[in-house]
A and B are shown apart, each in its own frame.
Chain A
């Protein structure tokens, strides 16, 4: 990245930070609603020396485990639903019901079923990530140009080869869109589940600090998880660019 490009992207964030600091110092907004950015930074350093790392690591572990399981299973399910009629008849209606359902509404249920530990959160995040990945793999596989399938067959490809060598790479651009959506969802569901009930995790920490009136600590937690989410998204975009370099 050139210096000019970096500056053009960093400047709006810098302006936002300055506006925050100015608003908090002006006295127009009370301390709990908006602590100064500098006090947030100080608290962040304190927290980083203490529990912040542990809670963040717990959250990331849950989120990434569920996400990592959802990616291969979601791709496989979506492509099978697109490719095999019996699978489509069986699974598509279920998928269509799951798609618009707010997965966060399941948080209380997963707690009743599985408990308040890791498993309920992993299950919830897994389900939340699975749906957009299945949908994208399904749409991607259905959208592969028929002339590509016909060409492969006429060049001597078996049906299995058509599936692996044409349908899967042909669906990849759509799949990567689904994966990016799922990654963002994994952060949302992770924090939401931890906010409601948990023994650890960044959501738990934010809640705990809030109840203790440590507002600058809450902000430090929010900024930490947001920064990690941002980095994960940029990583996903970079991976997509690399995988789809042929698109130019």
Chain B
């Protein structure tokens, strides 16, 4: 995905326009796990929504494999912080939704849906409604639903931000193991430095509003087990370094240290 010279302004019906993104250029490599990290309000989610084609580009360009992004499409799957499950559909119906939009035989749709339900460890909950599930389970459904259509690029908007600490750790491990077994391009928006360093191969640090790219840091570690990674010296150094980059931005954003 090639992002080039993207600028974005929010124009509220009343009041002055707010510049959210100012000249972002970024190349996301194929099958790369990239984290977009920055303080609240820096425009990282806006950039993700533009890449998803959910909002119109005002200036600049975003292209996937040379084709400019013109709108949402199944080549770019999205996972939101609030899960965005269809509450009137069961787990199975949610996962089937994207598959039904394709010309696949019924049996194949169902076997694929089942495969992804099993992959996210929700076997036995196929007929449950979202209201009957915990937060972590809801996010598993959302991930299975998005993976089921096999997107080339996975856009994740603070997907674990609404989960408790233990669930988040488990989900991070599972996401990594899914990504390792079938790598796709992932753009992962977060404000959590440790999460970004742990998951991503590169971390793109953004400035406070208006969002600009501050620095891109390599965060590829030799170890694969996330517990080993987190115990390593390298990991601690990267976290310290990125934290130092982001701290001044957080203070500039008036977030009082919250990232």
Contacts and interface: CB of A to CB of B under 8 A. Distances in A.
Given A145-B82, A148-B86, A248 B98 contact: no
Interface stretch (B3-11, B19-27, B56-64, B67-75): B67-75
Contact of A156 (B84, B101, B129, B131): B101
Interface in B49-99: 49, 52-54, 71-74, 76-78, 80, 82, 84, 86-89, 97-98
B93 to A, nearest CB: 10
> Of A155, A161, A172, which is in contact with the most chain B CB atoms at under 10 Å from its CB?
A155
A211 to B, nearest CB: 52
Contacts of A172: 88
A152 interface: yes
Interface size class of B (residues with CB under 8 A): 20 to 34
Given A246-B87, A246-B88, A154 B102 contact: no
A246 B131 contact: yes
Given A246-B87, A248-B131, A154 B97 contact: no
B177 to A, nearest CB: 24
Contacts of A151: 78, 80, 84, 86, 145
B92 to A, nearest CB: 13
B129 A145 contact: no
A62 B146 CA distance: 50
Interface string A124-157: 0000000000000000000001011011111111
A12 B101 CA distance: 55
B150 to A, nearest CB: 12
B101 A155 contact: yes
A9 interface: no
Interface string B129-170: 111100000000000011001000000000000000000000
Interface of A: 145, 147-148, 150-157, 161, 166, 169-170, 172, 244, 246-248
7 contacts: A150-B78, A150-B80, A154-B53, A154-B74, A155-B77, A156-B73, A247-B87
Given A155-B77, A248-B132, 12 more contacts: A147-B82, A148-B86, A150-B52, A150-B54, A150-B84, A152-B97, A154-B72, A155-B98, A155-B149, A157-B101, A166-B86, A248-B129
Interface of B: 49, 52-54, 71-74, 76-78, 80, 82, 84, 86-89, 97-98, 101-102, 129-132, 145-146, 149
